Amino acid sequence: MPSTFHDDLFAPDAIRDPYTFFGTLRDAQPVRWNQQYQVWIISSYKQLVWTARHPEYFSSEVALRDTQPLSPTIPEEDMELFGAVRQWLAARFTQNDGAKHKEQRKVVHGFFTPKAMESWRPLVRQTVSALLDDLQGSGQLDMMRDFATPLTYSIIAGLMDIPESDRAFVKELSSQNAVTDYLKPIVAERVREPGDDLLSVICRGEIMGAYTRDEVLANALLLLVAGHETTNDLIANGILAFSQHPDQFKMLRSDPDGHIVDAVEEILRYDSPLKSVQRIATQNIEMEGGQRVGKDDRVRWVISSANRDPSIFDNPDDLDISRNPNPHVAFGSGVHHCLGATLARLEGQEAFAALAQRFEGLQLETDPADLEYLPSVGQRTLLNLPITTR
Ligand code: HEM
């Protein structure tokens, strides 16, 4: 390892530039025990895919099996809260393995097929267009606050048929308990009389016997949050990338319809909204490089470095919206592959195509070194994105 290397996953340099931090690791030691946080870090593409494709060795029941949150410091008083949240997290189907996971995932799967999703394209297009009409001529904008967040939230709230009059209020609810309390009577009603919206689809899971009421609530909240935060990051990270690569934005502008599908895949690869995902080893496993992962060890695979792996991608640090094929793993791999990938792609395509059709350029109004990111090991979330559109 280079002598300057350190293991602090939350250090400012690791948060600001995960590509250098995890890339150094990938090139030197793609499977490495991180002593500081007591976790295996898997940073190459090949090892990530292998790990993801062996759910029998690497369990997704992280909330149930992991007693310590992966975090720099946890105040004593927060540990009790963590215990309560673990129970709640464990009720989400993404945290299940095997037959239970399969059965629970199946309930929602039909809503997200490419064909079903395509029917929502007009709604997404209209939402993007209305938002951009409102923003046109506003000068400097925070594209996270003014565009990405209202867009993605309004779409998922729309798909779940959250009453229009409640949406602003629900968005402000910061705790899971408050959102769950809000959802309870609505869920009770939709279990009695389900419609065609996404929340009703989850409620049908209870009618079919696949979910308990608690699981309905936990999964409804999962989709409300997962369906909004990650897509938010996709749009913000893409706007930042285009502001820093005007040639690529110009290329998109030259033929938005022709380039948009590959462009969204490239943004997903280049600056992935989810940086890493966790598992727990179910048994002792010897990895390809000879490392011995122990039963119950924490394992984290790093999407950000796999997506820049030079053994898979030519010039991996370049943004190239014509890259094809592009076998990125921004949506994960294996049985837990992102359920909402079709929706995320649809939103990304409509948002970037509309920006390219309307604007000649996106100008970043700050020194890139001053951009701030959420200090998270999992999410690549910009906290501010000052942009002027031209
Ligand atoms: C799973 C990424 C958008 C719902 C995942 C996983 C990744 C991911 C990496 C795998 C997690 C694991 O293996 O543990 C993303 C990215 C998105 C996005 C980058 C946006 C650009 C969405 C949307 C929804 C959604 C819009 C729903 C409305 C889910 C669900 C799972 C999941 C339910 C769990 C699937 C399972 O466990 O079977 N996502 N996601 N995601 N995603 Fe997404």
Index of the ligand 1 atom closest to the CA of residue 222: 33
Mean pLDDT of 288-316: 97
- The residue whose CA has the least distance to atom 12 of ligand 1 is 336
Q: Which residue has the higher pLDDT, 330 or 169?
A: 330
ipTM score: 0.99
What Å distances lie between residue 35 and 41, 275, 303, 361, CA to CA? 10, 20, 20, 45
Mean pLDDT of 271-281: 97
pLDDT above 80 for 75:
no
Cα–Cα distance measured from residue 103 to residue 89, given in angstroms and rounded to the nearest whole number: 18
- The residue whose CA has the least distance to atom 32 of ligand 1 is 338
Inside any domain, residue 356: yes
Inside any domain, residue 129: yes
Which pLDDT band, with edges at 50, 70 and 90, does 89 fall under?
confident
Inside any domain, residue 75: yes
* pLDDT given for residue 88 in this prediction: 67
CA 369 to centroid of ligand 1, rounded, Å: 29
CA 38 to centroid of ligand 1, rounded, Å: 25
* pLDDT given for residue 293 in this prediction: 98
What's the pTM value of the predicted model, to 2 decimals? 0.96
Angle, helices 246-254 vs 213-244, to 10°: value is 100
Index of the ligand 1 atom closest to the CA of residue 159: 28
Q: Name, in order, each residue with C-beta under 8 angstroms of 358's C-beta and a sequence gap of 6 or more.
A: 132, 136, 389
* pLDDT given for residue 74 in this prediction: 64
Inside any domain, residue 228: yes
CA 210 to centroid of ligand 1, rounded, Å: 20
Contact residues of ligand 1, CB 6 A cut-off:
60, 94, 105, 156, 222-223, 226-227, 230-231, 234, 273-274, 277, 330-332, 336, 338-340, 343-344
* pLDDT given for residue 5 in this prediction: 81
Tell which one of 51, 111, 149, 230 to mutate to probe ligand 1, the residue whose CB is within 8 A of the most ligand atoms. 230
Give residue 23's domain range.
Answer: 12-372+381-389
CA 3 to centroid of ligand 1, rounded, Å: 36
Inside any domain, residue 166: yes
Q: Name, in order, each residue with C-beta under 8 angstroms of 177's C-beta and a sequence gap of 6 or more.
A: none
Q: How many domains does the chain have?
A: 1
Inside any domain, residue 4: no
CA 222 to centroid of ligand 1, rounded, Å: 10
pLDDT above 70 for 363:
yes
Inside any domain, residue 77: yes
Inside any domain, residue 24: yes
CA 374 to centroid of ligand 1, rounded, Å: 19
Tell which one of 269, 303, 338, 376 to mutate to probe ligand 1, the residue whose CB is within 8 A of the most ligand atoms. 338
CATH code of the domain in which 364 resides: 1.10.630.10
pLDDT above 70 for 239:
yes
Mean pLDDT of 221-234: 90
Index of the ligand 1 atom closest to the CA of residue 60: 14
- The residue whose CA has the least distance to atom 6 of ligand 1 is 338
Index of the ligand 1 atom closest to the CA of residue 272: 19
Q: What DSSP string runs through 300-360? A: EEEHHHHTT-TTTSSSTTS--TT--S----TT--GGG--TTHHHHHHHHHHHHHHHHHH-S
CB 21 within 8 A of CB 14: yes
